[in-house]
Chains A and B, each alone.
Chain A
Amino acid sequence: GQQVMQIPQYQHVQEGEDFTTYCNSSTTLSNIQWYKQRPGGHPVFLIQLVKSGEVKKQKRLTFQFGEAKKNSSLHITATQTTDVGTYFCAGPNAGGTSYGKLTFGQGTILTVHP
């Protein structure tokens, strides 16, 4: 079945350092979504990328969708303690009708040391 893999599983950074997490799908995706889960919280939608090679920015966060639409990345510039959490990528079900089902990556847990 469809698999979505993320690396790294954990990342520890000093405040002010940059951070990148990578997402790879076993199948071509129609779109890729990113979610953030704060410690003790629930996953919250951040952004959706649809076009091949698309790049979107949200303040210090930069999201990219690969040309082949099978991989994506999230880059945070100059991390802050508020960036702490788990970042998930997710892609819709491959083939057929998905009814909104997403396959989530296992997430990257980011810790930021002040």
Chain B
Amino acid sequence: DAGVIQSPRHEVTEMGQEVTLRCKPISGHNSLFWYRQTMMRGLELLIYFNNNVPIDDSGMPEDRFSAKMPNASFSTLKIQPSEPRDSAVYFCASSLQETQYFGPGTRLLVL
């Protein structure tokens, strides 16, 4: 079975540009989580969905960040406009009960 799929795996962009990160959860999983990981702040939960509905977005750092889950097999995390401090690894994870399965992550560098 395919695990959680994320794209792109790496993204280098310039400050001010829009960045869209994509995630395909494991088929049958009903919860999806977006995390950000940096050396300074560790692993941070940004937002999570259950049955495609956003449950808690209190971790989203600013209005520049938005996330959608239009259907059970796809989610996006968008940053507009991007800033250098957004540079991090962004992970998507999915779960059916309480064990979370992480994707390989997107390494974002904003210059």
Contacts and interface: CB of A to CB of B under 8 A. Distances in A.
Interface residues of B, number: 22
B13 to A, nearest CB: 21
B28 interface: no
B105 A45 contact: no
Contacts, number: 52
A63 to B, nearest CB: 14
Q: Could you say which interface size class chain A belongs to? A: 10 to 19
Given A98-B98, A99-B55, A101-B33, A42 B103 contact: yes
A92 B99 CA distance: 9
A45 B95 CA distance: 11
Interface in B65-111: 91, 93, 95-105
A100 interface: yes
A31 B97 CA distance: 12
A49 to B, nearest CB: 12
B99 A33 contact: yes
28 contacts: A33-B98, A42-B103, A42-B104, A42-B105, A43-B43, A43-B93, A43-B100, A43-B102, A44-B102, A45-B101, A90-B100, A92-B98, A98-B98, A99-B31, A99-B48, A99-B50, A99-B55, A100-B48, A100-B95, A100-B97, A101-B31, A101-B33, A101-B45, A101-B48, A101-B56, A104-B43, A106-B42, A107-B43
Interface of A: 31, 33, 41-45, 48, 88, 90, 92, 98-102, 104, 106-107
